[in-house]
Structure 1
Amino acid sequence: MKVELENLFSIDESNQDQVIKVYNRYGIFIGAPEIRKRNLKASFNPIFTLNEEVTYEQVAALYKSLERELGIVSIGERFYFDFSDSEYEQAPLFTLNSTGNSPEMFVDDKGTLFSISTYCQHCGLMEKEQLSPIVIDTTEMKDRHLVHVSGYWIASQELVALMEQEDIKGYELLEVIHQGTEEGKQKAFQIIPTQVLPQCSNERVKLYFATEQPPCRCGLSGVINGPDIYKNEDLKGLTGDVFYSAEWSHDGRYLYRKTLFSRKFREIIIKNNISREVRGEKDKNFGPRDWLFDPVLLK
């Protein structure tokens, strides 16, 4: 697995050579952007690998040089985790990060009851305990098999039937409450894992955006976690196909536990043409309805 960092900002055409030289000075070699006719602004969109030769500390120093020397202060950042074929082929578990390269995979909560408490007084992250079934407008699911609602996965009746047919284990179902018009409503179910995975290895990559505030002392807000990494022996006794992570994730406001799925579950999704085979966000196959599974890494 390699970590890649993408930058995005605009510059004047006359400054492009100077910007490239600043990157090169820090050991990051990028090409000149394409300049559109009649447009003095060029979009710089380099993607480069972070490793022993290009560290995140170097990148932070690069940003300071761009600001000090060229007045560039608005720099977009995005991390990518690029996995090898062998990492996909050997992974026993996968994190499902998306069920489509489209906003339609997200459905709004319409009034689920939660009890709320503050987790961190410094960043304001909150814990919530679910007190009722999830409430959504099920017509918004349309023909989607799985949608994301406030940290929870909601499955269609068709997907539930397929999971039962293929003997997927390790979860319970809770039928959601429909709120909306009667026409087009459908049955849908929250997938609730019945097992929690062991703690991740301390070798898991933890990153942050240098253009934003430093991570909170709670260790959650402001932290970008890399892929889940486990010791081989910690996963040997596991059975079933659906699991909660031991670690908290968050959506910027509320904590939730991430759901991980087995290799068997991923293979069923691909075999039944629910998603094409997709390996990473930059995969050319990644379309509006394709599911993005990231492999769990073993140590």
Structure 2
Amino acid sequence: MKVELENLFSIDESSQDQVINVYNRHGIAIGAPEIRKRNLKTKFNPIFTLNEDVTYEKVAAVYESLEREFGIVSIGERFYFEFSDLEYEWAPLFTLNSTGNSPEMFLEDKGTLFSLSTHCKNCGLMDKEQLSPIVIDTSHMKGRHLVHVSGYWVASEELVALLKNEKLEGFEFLEVIHQGPEQGKQPAYQIIPTQILPSSSQDRVKLYFATEQPPCSCGLNGVIKGPDIYHQEDLAALKGDVFYSAEWSHDGRYLYKKTLFSKRFREVIIKHGISREVRGEKDRNFGPKDWLFDPVLIK
């Protein structure tokens, strides 16, 4: 697996060579962007690999130099995780990051009942326990097989039928409550895993944005976690196709248990044409309705 960091900011075209030199003199090799228009600000988005040579300390030093020398203070950051073909082939489990290259896959909760408690007083992360079926406007399910609602996955009637026909196991369905206009109402069901995975390896990559405050002392807020890593022996007796992780994830406000899916689940989705074979966000095949699965790494 390779970890890449993308920066995004604007510069004057006349400054691009000097900005490239800032990266280069800190040991980060980048090239010039493609210039589409002249005499305008250039969108500058270098992408480089983080490793033992290109460290957070170097990245922070680059940002300090860009601010001091060019007044660049607004720098966007985005991480990419790139996997080898073997990592896709060996993975028994996958994390589902997208069921369509579109923000429309994320639906707003319309009134699901939860009990809430404070998990961390420093950052304000909250624990929540679901007390009622998920409440959403199911009309937004039309044309979509699976959507994400506040940390939970909600499936269409068609996907439920497919999973039953393919005899996938390890989960239950709970019908959601429709809140919205009756016209366009769709049957939809929350997928509830019935199994929890063993604890993942402590070798999992943990990142943060150098442009933001350091991560909270709780170890959750402000931390960008890399792909899950498991020891082979811990998954040897695993059966089923859908699982909760043992560790907590969060959406910036609430904690939830992430759902992981089996290799067979992914193969069924591809076999039935719900998604094409996609390997990473930068895959040229990644279209507006494709599902993005990241492989779990095995030690």
Conserved 8 A contact 1:35-1:41: no
Paired residue total: 299
Cα distance in 2 for residues equivalent to 1:38 and 1:50: 32
Q: Which amino acid aligns with 1:137?
A: D
Conserved 8 A contact 1:107-1:141: no
Greater Cα shift, 74-83 or 106-115: 106-115
How far residue 36 of structure 1 moved from its aligned partner, in angstroms, is 4.0
Matches within 5 A, 1:1-299: 1-299=1-299
Could you give the per-residue CA deviations for residues 166-201 of structure 1, whole angstroms, max 9, x where no partner exists? 111000111001112222212110000011111110
Conserved 8 A contact 2:13-2:38: no
Q: Which amino acid aligns with 2:197?
A: L
How far residue 232 of structure 1 moved from its aligned partner, in angstroms, is 0.6
Could you give the per-residue CA deviations for residues 30-74 of structure 1, whole angstroms, max 9, x where no partner exists? 222233434331111111111122122211111112112222111
Percent of matched pairs sharing the same residue: 80
- CA-based RMSD of the aligned residues comes to 1.0
Q: Which amino acid aligns with 1:209?
A: F
SS at match of 1:116: strand
Q: Which amino acid aligns with 1:161?
A: A
How far residue 123 of structure 1 moved from its aligned partner, in angstroms, is 0.4
Cα distance in 1 for residues equivalent to 2:5 and 2:85: 20
SS at match of 2:218: coil
Give the TM-score normalised by the residue count of structure 2. 0.98
Q: Which amino acid aligns with 1:249?
A: S
Q: Which amino acid aligns with 1:54?
A: V
Could you give the per-residue CA deviations for residues 216-245 of structure 1, whole angstroms, max 9, x where no partner exists? 000000000000000111111111010001
Cα distance in 2 for residues equivalent to 1:109 and 1:187: 16
SS at match of 1:94: strand
Q: Which stretches of structure 1, 4 residues or more, deviate above 4 A after TM superposition?
A: none
SS at match of 1:160: helix
Cα distance in 1 for residues equivalent to 2:262 and 2:150: 22
Greater Cα shift, 159-168 or 65-74: 65-74
> Any gaps of 5 or more consecutive residues in structure 2?
none
Conserved 8 A contact 1:208-1:214: yes
> Any gaps of 5 or more consecutive residues in structure 1?
none
Conserved 8 A contact 1:96-1:261: yes
Cα distance in 2 for residues equivalent to 1:176 and 1:213: 38
